[in-house]
Amino acid sequence: MANIRSSYPALVLACVFLGGWEGYVAITDASALVLPAPSDVLNGLWIERAAIGRHALATLAVACLGFGLSVVFAFAVSIALHFSGWLRRGLMPLLVASQTVPIVALAPLMVLWFGFGLLPKLLLVILVTFFPMLVSLMAGYASLPRPFRDQLVSMGATGWAVYRRAALPSARAHFFAGLRISATYAIVATIFAEYAGARQGLGIYILSAKNNFRADLVLSAVLVSAGLTLALLAAIRGAERATGRRYQRASDA
């Protein structure tokens, strides 16, 4: 109930926006080739539901696989950087630099280097989603208060024990924040990778709809991609709630 009430303003604004859009198209009689009305978009989505569904599933599979690998990779690198100051100083600037490479330039290059298969898409998703998670994890480790670390060290804890028992749990809230940021990039990055070249996926569907002057279907696919991202976020929120009641105390305290 509280959830419905808190999303009330968003619903009102969305309705106002869509109503205005629908009304504008009706009044100006704009061409559906240029600006399809929301009702046209929904209609297109319904008619093309089988094709869009198939492409959406392909996108979701690639995004989830890439995102999953990215989480594993971010953890592995964060542990390495946590324990090696040398590596941290050496690798962090390079990782920051990697984030400045425009995805527009990278996506076609990936296709050029690795073909139209799974690999270039996974690489692109990992490249885009990895960094926010790594930065969140590192910030999380650093948030461990010094007295907590001291307490463990005085008990004779090794560096790994301090990491496992204190640094890692205190990074949990940061990690999930990074995970949510990355999740919003994951679907978009996959679509972009598919746009640069693929056999299946929303990206290639959008490309072909655009080439056929079907603006309504482009927007239908966009709607579905937004839905996929929201579903991914909801899954992450669910995982966070299910796995860590005791950790919520840490962030509430």
Partner 1 sequence: MLELRGLTIRTDCNTLVDDLPLDLAEGELTCLIGPSGCGKSSVVKWLAGVLAPELRVRGRAALDGRTATLPHRDIAYQPQQDTLFPWLTITENVGLGLEIRGLGRHAARDRVRGLLPSFGLQRHADAFPDQLSGGMRQRAAFLRAIVQETRVLLLDEPFSALDAVTRLAMQAWLIDRLAERPRAVLMVTHDLYEATRMADRVLVMAGGPGRIVADIPITTPRADRSEAALAEIRSTLRSMLLKDTS
Residues 128 and 184: beta-carbon distance below 8 Å:
no
From CA 229, how far away is CA 209, in angstroms rounded? 21
**Identified binder of partner 1 from the candidate list 169, 177, 229, 237, rule CB under 8 A:** 169
Residue among 206, 209, 182, 183 nearest 193 (CA): 206
Of residues 226 and 239, the one with the C-beta less far from partner 1: 239
In whole angstroms, the minimum distance from the beta carbon of 152 to partner 1 comes to 7
User: Token pair 């303003």 is at which residue?
Assistant: 9
Segment (H or E) for 173: helix 172-196
Q: Is 239 in the site for partner 1 (CB under 8 A)?
A: no
In contact, 174 and 137? CB cutoff 8 Å: yes
Is the Cβ–Cβ distance between 21 and 199 less than 8 Å? no
Identified binder of partner 1 from the candidate list 2, 50, 105, 253, rule CB under 8 A: 253
Give the dihedral sign, CA 182/242/75/119. Answer: negative
Residue among 11, 72, 161, 239 that touches partner 1 (CB under 8 A)? 161
Interface residue with partner 1 among 98, 150, 227, 231 (CB under 8 A) is 150
Binder to partner 1 among 148, 210, 229, 237 (CB under 8 A)? 148
By C-beta, is 146 or 199 nearer to partner 1? 146
- Measured from the CB atom, the residue of 162 and 232 that comes closer to partner 1 is 162
**Residue 122 binding partner 1, by CB under 8 A:** no
Which CB, 199 or 246, lies closer to partner 1?
A: 246
Q: In whole angstroms, how close is the CB of 173 to partner 1 at the nearest point? A: 11
Q: Which of 16, 11, 167, 183 is nearest to 81 (CA)?
A: 167
When binding is defined by CB under 8 A, the residue of 88, 165, 180, 237 that contacts partner 1 is 165
d(CA 182, CA 163): 24
Decide: is 154 part of the binding site for partner 1 (CB under 8 A): yes
Residue 3 as a binder of partner 1 (CB under 8 A): the answer is no
- Tokens for 103? 């995805």
